[in-house]
Amino acid sequence: MGEEDRRQRLKERAAEFPDSPGVYLFRDATGEVLYVGKAISLRNRVRSYFSSPSSLNTRTMRMLAEAVDIDFLLTDSEVEALIFEADLIKRHRPRFNVRLRDDKQYPYIVVTTGDDYPRVGVARRVERDEHRYFGPFTNTSLLRRAMELLRKVFPYRTCTDYVMEHRQRPCLHYHVGRCLAPCTRPIDPGEYDDVIDGLLGFLGGRSRELTRDLEARMEEAAAELDFERAARIRDQIDALKTFREQQRNLSAPSAEDMDVLGLARRGESAAITLLFMREGRIVGNDGFIVGAPEDTGDGEILGDTLVEYYSHSLLVPRRILLPVDPPDSQSLEKWLGENRGSRVFLHRPERGEKRRLVALANRNAELLLDDEAASSGSIRPLGELEEILELPAPPIRIECYDISNLSGSSAVGSMVVFEDGHPAPYGYRRFRIKDVDEIDDYAMMREVLSRRARRLDRSEGASQVAEDTSFSAVPDLIVIDGGPGHVATAREALAETPLEGTPILGIAKREELLYRPGESVPLTLPDDSDALKLLRRIRDEAHRFALDYHRRLRSKGAVRSLLDDIPGVGPRRRNALLAHFTSIEAMTAATEEELAAVPGMTRRAARSVKRFLVKRAER
């Protein structure tokens, strides 16, 4: 079929479309969807593609050059067409539509309101379930601190259902007043519901109302001379004020809730940021990178993003501020209003404080573009791993385990953590093998993973102190330095633990083949694969971390055995010398007076140590 024939056929097909609202799909010769659009009148909209070629932008002309067919779906209204369009774009991911790049999975606070005793935790995606989600939060460290502050006010549970069902006594959170311990104590469900209702109200933006209520309760307790309860409530009020102070305070023109969108473009990428204004404060933000050909209008980008974002958002504000007007803004307002349950206004301010807020959002979008350019090297392999391993989302947190066992002595295991494709040293952990005497890598790996899973179990019910921070997080992917045997051992070790079901991947040392549980045929990736480069880096870091610990233990053991041969130096003096001097060389270089100054040492013992070390150095 020639070019003219193909174009004429598409034009005739467009003329057959009904004069009704709906969505239309352009397809190429293989049936792949190239573009999805919506229209009040399908016939008029699609025919416009063939009326005047000079009025079309470059992107549309490229799309039409590949299209061989057009389909349509009727809808009852333009608003319904808007919803269908968003669903079809998500399903087919057409090359010529503006699409959000959803590589980053920002965390949300989730309250499992579908449970008898709701749990509060962190989720990486919003599910269509009966639970409540708040966020997203782009700064995970601030999120952790915020949740710790909130627990001082709302003593909710954080443990998993598995931990709650198997716990026999209250955890440390109960003893420090940060959980009511519904796992082991017969508490009134209404009492726990009051806690959750207060938390939901606060997260929903009613912070001032909650603070006033607490102040009234504090004054009541003080009037009743219950100063202990009044002091507890005072601490809760202080925690809420600290939480609010972490949020940027702007002199918004009113206290109404609204979202503010910002836009920045560079080449064929665009960044969109959202600032969430609640009670006159910025309480959160979000950001997206959008694939947008240069001839795509700003309004079209914003309109498509509004549909994409608010089709998932659980909260639609009454007013949304925009830097430019999107096409079909009236249809968008109707659709948003249906999601909200009341009217929604899209507004492009031209002056005043609202215009200043939009300018602030635009500046944040510029920064997001800068961050995207700087981090694209680490985000890309996460998306590749998601696709290759068929994961539900990019593996934001990856844990890798290795065993160092030279000559069967001082065997150790290492756990390294990568977050967003970068090392997270705060999460690194070392394991000294305790239960395996012989040289058995599989048994050692089983011990390390079992202990890690047990620590997660305990940290779900204990205060998240610094040493437990890493163990309280659930990885998105576990990488094992080894082949199919190590992977099978890992799956066995994690069975019937909170980590059961976590994706596991083994990477062999020499061939660098990838093994998944239950699969005998390994995965192979090309040497220039970004995913393979990241896995190599993670594996090498785990090996380095384990080997470093192993060498330190061997060195320390050698020093210990050497000191055991010195007359007059027992275990107590030996340990004191090891604590004071960093190496045998430092001990040799020390004077007799410096040796004698070590707690527990005497002048006679110091002389004996000095004489022994000098003779050793002369050999």
Specify the pTM.
Answer: 0.41
Tell me, yes or no, whether 545 and 421 share the same domain: yes
As a whole number of angstroms, the distance between CA 480 and CA 506 comes to 5
pLDDT digits (tens, 9 = 90+) for 277-308: 776 666 666 777 777 666 678 888 888 888 87
Closest C-alpha among 270, 281, 263 to residue 323: 263
Task: Please compute the mean of the pLDDT values over residues 408-431 and round it to a whole number.
Answer: 81
As a whole number of angstroms, the distance between CA 541 and CA 399 comes to 11
pLDDT at 619 over 70: no
pLDDT digits (tens, 9 = 90+) for 41-96: 888 888 888 877 666 777 788 888 888 889 888 887 777 788 778 778 777 778 78
- The tally of domains found in the chain comes to 5
Token match 């070392």: residue? 430
pLDDT digits (tens, 9 = 90+) for 30-42: 888 898 888 888 8
Tell me, yes or no, whether 46 and 25 share the same domain: yes
As a whole number of angstroms, the distance between CA 43 and CA 246 comes to 53
Beta bridge partners of 282: 248, 277
Task: Please compute the mean of the pLDDT values over residues 103-131 and round it to a whole number.
Answer: 74
Q: Select from 553, 575, 606 the last residue of a domain.
A: 553
Q: What is the pLDDT of residue 169?
A: 82
Tell me, yes or no, whether 149 and 294 share the same domain: no
Sign of the CA dihedral running 293, 298, 303, 306: positive
Beta bridge partners of 138: none
| Domain-located, residue 387 | no
User: Where does the pLDDT of residue 242 fall: very low under 50, low under 70, confident under 90, or very high at 90 and above?
Assistant: low
Q: Are 184 and 170 in contact (CB under 8 A)?
A: yes
As a whole number of angstroms, the distance between CA 191 and CA 179 comes to 12
pLDDT digits (tens, 9 = 90+) for 549-587: 656 655 555 445 566 667 777 777 877 887 777 566 778
Q: Select from 53, 78, 97 the last residue of a domain.
A: 97
Closest C-alpha among 138, 109, 106 to residue 122: 109
What CATH number is given to the structural domain containing 596?
1.10.150.20
Q: Regarding predicted confidence, which is higher, 460 or 281?
A: 281
What domain range includes position 65? 3-97
Tell me, yes or no, whether 366 and 500 share the same domain: no
What CATH number is given to the structural domain containing 478?
3.30.420.340
Percent of the chain with pLDDT over 90: 9
pLDDT digits (tens, 9 = 90+) for 346-396: 999 988 888 888 988 888 888 777 766 655 555 578 878 888 888 877 888
Mean pLDDT of the chain: 78
As a whole number of angstroms, the distance between CA 285 and CA 2 comes to 51
Task: Please compute the mean of the pLDDT values over residues 485-503 and round it to a whole number.
Answer: 90
